[in-house]
Structure 1
Amino acid sequence: MARQVVRASKFRHVFGQAVKTDQCYDDIRISQMTWDSNFCSVNPKFVAMIVDASGGGAFMVLPLSKTGRIDMSQPTVCGHTGPVLDIEWCPHNDNIIASGSEDCTVMVWEIPDGGLVKPLTEPVVTLEGHSKRVGILSWHPTAHNVLMSAACDNVVILWNVACGEAVVRIDSLHNDLIYSTCWNQDGSQILTSCKDKKLRILDPRKGTVITEKDKPHEGSRPVRAVFVSDGKILTTGFSRMSERQVALWDPKNFGEPLTLQELDTSSGVLLPFFDPDTNIVYLCGKGDSSIRYFEVTDEPPYVHYLSMYSSKESQKGMGYMPKRGLEVNKCEIARFYKLHERKCEPIIMTVPRKSDLFQEDLYPDTIGPEPSVEASDWFAGKDGKPILMSLKDGFVTTRTKEFKVHKSLMTTTAATSGHPQGDSMEIQSVQEEVKKLKAAVEELTKRVENLENKN
């Protein structure tokens, strides 16, 4: 009888472990909304969670170090007039977060370094363009100040946040509710899944369909999709018998999946999180008490089951830490922030190794916070590859890209239909501001000279 050979993988023994109780965030009124978003977003500075609020919508932002019991009087971000449905930290500035709400608006907020000391009610900018509740937000991975939003009006909008301008409006491609959206690694394509049972790859600037797949999963429940390595697509969905499935697709040949695996018969939608550095995809089900992880490879069956983390409490939401926020000296390859009843609990995924030295095979250069292209250049057609950073010395706080909003452009750009014209107006506005600053400096210089002469 032939010996069964175990597939070699450095991630075969990855295990998940919850942190100690005193490192959790307790007594948090997690939102009771029945919306299939993550309800949580994290970065190397803060963790943000959507919470219940009377008379509107709110979310809580806490510095990572502020663990333990959270006081009932903890300030929140509470500028929306309807419940908040999705929140997303900007990848290029750890103090900037966007929120989408039932009040049909997207708001962008700036959080001070130490966290909130009083309720935050005034956003940096409010983006208005949707006619129904906004449930999906996603920042561009490489372009500065580009934000994508999708709402229940079946419309996808790409915003230039610095100008408060809806530059691209994709309103004729989706015939029903949009379940998920995802950028590819350099942000040159968008992947959407929709209630009309179609998977679409879009050109984001032209607003056109590059290719599409009908019925990636036979069931009628929501489908989620993400780009993985080599441009392939991983989807989660349901069979006709309501069994949860995971599938891998090659967009160059959308006819049949590279692999299709059935998992279980639970009813919660599986939220996929993909790590391009390790090629591991984590599946977190809404209402589940477990996190499954799989390795995506070039060999059949392409999606290899690794292991599963289980706990007693079912999860209401999940936040995924960017790679640059992990503790590399502990061989930590992923960290999740799990929301359950009145609590946020960090879950650490670790590769067990005895050495204290930096493990180069576990930590290749990863995506850093520096954008590679400005919003105006990206909308004009320029793509930028992600700028990578080394984790050898652990995470070092770098000077993130400054967030600026050209308030003088808020009214003018809304009236401009063509992007080149908007660019010229932006340049003109900046030139006028520079002239005013020069005049102010000259005036102050004269006053200083006069005071010195009197002395």
Structure 2
Amino acid sequence: MYVAMSRKVVRTSKFRHVFGQAAKADQCYDDIRISQMTWDSSFCSVNPKFVAMIVDASGGGAFMVLPLGKTGRIDMSYPTVCGHTGPVLDIEFCPHNDNIIASGSEDCSVMIWEIPDAGLTLPLTKPVVKLEGHSKRVGILSWHPTAHNVLMSAGCDNVVILWNVARGEAAVIIDSVHSDLIYGVSWNRDGSKIVTSCKDKMLRVLDPRKGTVLLEKEKPHEGSRPVRAVFVSDRRILSTGFSRMSERQVALWDLDNFDDPLTLQEVDTSSGVLLPFYDPDTGVFYLCGKGDSSIRYFEVTEEAPYVHYLSMYSSKESQKGVGYMPKRGLEVNKCEIARFYKLHERKCEPIIMTVPRKSDLFQEDLYPDTIGPEPSVEADDWFGGTDAPPILISLKDDFVSTTKAKEFKVHKSLLKTTSASAGGNLTDGSGELQALRRDLKDVKTALEELSHRVSVLESKH
């Protein structure tokens, strides 16, 4: 009996000693005016090439996209993506192409942008595609995990739309399920199901192509504040919410028995909505609260009590938003298992989560094969009913070189299918026009450099 008890107290886990560390000052992105909007999205999206942040913009909406290596102080005049006429509420990079990012705005539209490899040298005002279908502001975006060019959006019109981005059209409109504001939408691993949380106090599992409700749970959390939910496996969902006494909670649900949670734990009494980020490779999930100054992390296991608190990263300053780096963007030689990009009022600070290990050899147990950038099914096939698991990659070898070829292929096919099908939605259809634009950009850059040199010379005299 005593042995069993003591084993319960100290649970063995290789993630017990994971620790978070803020990047050094010169590795942060400084002097960025992060958006003052009170919307509950993460305000930040990252991938192995870029970090994007929603920023304050006078008259309209904008976000900034920086190459990962462009750290330090960012000039006030640094160009932004600024084609929306209302504030930007959510942004998300495409998982299958690091140069493509989607944005949703108060102007009721969703826009798809292409970012040049070296980042922006001029403000970007023309999207590759503009997706129109919502009647109120669009605050939630989520790309399909395995299907190429499928994007899900949710608006304040209580509608979820699944877009075939390649064709520039709404393929599925789910407009009769949610009776109130949608708080969150999330895909399962192969994108065959979605889970939504709503102000009507319902957690729903839906078939995204049919728009039908497969399962629903009333009041997963008793409180009236926003609930968020993510799949942690095909049959299990993790939710965050509030108790009737406004305590923040985390719960784990089994879809085979949706009546009661497998576990329900109190977290604390803060008021910020908890954004959950789950890593299926390690079974670790991270809770980042808007307005919090901490990131808590837990491990999900198959056996009771299912959810195990690991530790917490704390700092003095609260976060206005947070970006989560895909696994393929981490430094495996430093045993980094997660990286967050924490937004302050005026800067973005990377937070690195590592497992302390003495060996500098590749740690197989920390890095099982993970989701790569290659999609496993095309949009038309997926909408036609085809599901496919993610295509996994090993992080052990020269993974980077293989990604470049894949990105280029995916990236070209995105533009090819878009220009072929989107017709009137496309702004930059012809290659000649793009070449002209590039030439014009080069001339402008040269002129700016010349005028700068002239002004430097004048100031010397």
Q: Report if the CA contact (8 A) 1:184-1:231 is conserved.
A: no
Distance 1:254 1:102 in 2: 35
Matched residues in 2 for 1:224 and 1:334: separation? Answer: 20
Q: Which amino acid aligns with 1:335?
A: R
Change (3 A) 1:234 1:348: same
Output the amino acid matched with 1:285. Answer: G
Answer yes or no: is 1:157 the counterpart of 2:167. no
Q: Does 1:20 align with 2:24?
A: yes
- 1:42 matched residue in structure 2: 46
1:286 aligns with: 290
* Identity score, percent: 82
Q: 2:391 is matched with which residue: 387, 394, 400?
A: 387
Structure 1 counterpart of 2:68, from 58, 64, 69? 64
Question: Using the alignment, how far apart are the partners of 2:347 and 2:60 within structure 1?
Answer: 22
Match of 1:410 in 2: 422
Superposed displacement of residue 410, structure 1: 3.2
Separation in structure 1 between the aligned mates of residue 171 and residue 234 of structure 2, nearest angstrom: 29
Write the letter of the residue equivalent to 2:150.
Answer: V
Aligned residue among 360, 368, 374 for 1:356: 360
Q: For residues 153 and 227 of structure 1, what CA distance do their matches in structure 2 show?
A: 25
State the alpha-carbon separation in 1 of the partners of residues 170 and 263 from structure 2.
38
Q: Describe the superposition over 1:174-208 as per-residue Cα deviations: whole angstroms up to 9, x where unpaired.
A: 00000000000000001100000000000011110
Deviations, residues 110-157 of structure 1 (Å, cap 9, x unaligned) = 000000000000000000000000000000000000000000000000
2:327 aligned partner: 323
1:369 aligns with 2:373: yes
Cα deviation 1:61-94 (Å, max 9, x = unaligned): 0000000000001000000000000000000000
Q: Secondary structure at the match of 2:418?
A: coil
Q: CA deviation at 1:407?
A: 3.8
C-alpha distance in 2 between matches for 1:291 and 1:394: 31
Structure 2: distance between partners of 1:280 and 1:187: 20
Q: Is 1:95 the equivalent of 2:107?
A: no
For residues 94 and 411 of structure 1, the distance between their equivalents in structure 2, rounded to whole angstroms, comes to 24
> Is the Cα–Cα contact under 8 Å of residues 160 and 175 in structure 2 kept in the other structure?
yes
1:344 to 343, 348, 364: 348
- 1:196 aligned residue (178, 186, 200): 200
Q: Which amino acid aligns with 2:19?
A: F
Separation of aligned partners in 2, 1:44 and 1:236: 28
The corresponding residue for 1:300 is 304
Aligned-partner Cα distance in 2 for 1:54–1:155: 28
User: Given residue 388 of structure 2, which amino acid in structure 1 is its aligned partner?
Assistant: G
Contact 1:292–1:307 (8 Å) recurs in 2: yes
Q: Does the 8 Å contact 1:25/1:344 carry over to 2?
A: yes
Q: Which residue of 2 aligns with 1:310?
A: 314
Residue 122 in 1 paired to residue 126 in 2? yes
**Structure 1 segments unaligned to the other structure (5+ residues):** 414-432, 434-455
What whole-Å deviation, never above 9, does each CA across 1:189-236 have from its counterpart, x for those lacking one? 011000000000000111100111000000000000000034300000
Per the alignment, do residues 335 and 394 of structure 1 end up closer, same or farther by CA in structure 2, a change over 3 Å counting? farther
**Aligned equivalents of 2:355, 2:233: Cα separation in 1:** 21
Amino acid at match of 1:2: Y
CA distance in structure 1 between the aligned counterparts of 2:69 and 2:423, rounded to whole angstroms: 40
Question: Unmatched 5+ residue regions in structure 2?
Answer: 431-461
Residues 72 and 127 (structure 1 numbering): CA distance in 2 closer, same or farther, change over 3 Å? same
1:177 aligns with 2:173: no
- Distance change in 2, residues 1:381/1:412 (3 Å): farther
Q: How does 1:172-251 map to 2 (within 5 A)?
A: 172-251=176-255
Secondary structure of the structure 1 residue equivalent to 2:322: strand
3-state SS of the aligned residue for 1:362? coil
Once the 2 structures are TM-superposed, how far is the Cα of residue 409 of structure 1 from its aligned partner?
Answer: 3.1
Structure 1 residue 19, shift from structure 2 partner: 0.8
Q: CA deviation at 1:252?
A: 1.1
1:408 deviates by 5.0
Confirm or deny: 8 A CA contact 2:188 2:234 kept in the other structure.
Answer: no
2:81 partner amino acid: V
Change in Cα spacing, 1:408 to 1:364, as seen in structure 2 (3 Å) is closer
Determine if the alignment matches structure 1 residue 84 to structure 2 residue 91: no
Deviation string, structure 1 residues 44-64 (Cα, Å, up to 9, x no partner): 000000000001000000000
Q: Partner residue of 2:2?
A: 2
Q: Calculate the aligned-residue CA RMSD, in Å.
A: 1.4
Q: Does 1:267 align with 2:271?
A: yes
* C-alpha distance in 1 between matches for 2:192 and 2:378: 14
| Aligned mates of 2:266, 2:326 — CA distance in 1 | 29
Give every structure 1 segment of 4 or more consecutive aligned residues whose post-TM-superposition deviation is greater than 6 Å: none
1:143 and 2:147 matched: yes
TM-score by length of 1: 0.89
Tell me, yes or no, if structure 1 residue 52 matches structure 2 residue 56. yes
Task: Measure how far apart 1:17 and its partner are.
Answer: 0.3
Tell whether the 8 Å contact from 1:90 to 1:98 is kept in structure 2 after alignment.
yes
The 2-side partners of 1:143 and 1:298 are apart by 29
Kindly report which structure 2 residues correspond to 1:414-425, keeping only aligned pairs within 5 A, or say none. Answer: none
Contact 2:188 2:233 in 1 (8 A): no
Contact 2:240 2:248 in 1 (8 A): yes
Per the alignment, in what secondary structure is the counterpart of residue 396 of structure 1? helix
CA distance in structure 2 between the partners assigned to 1:34 and 1:406 by the alignment: 34
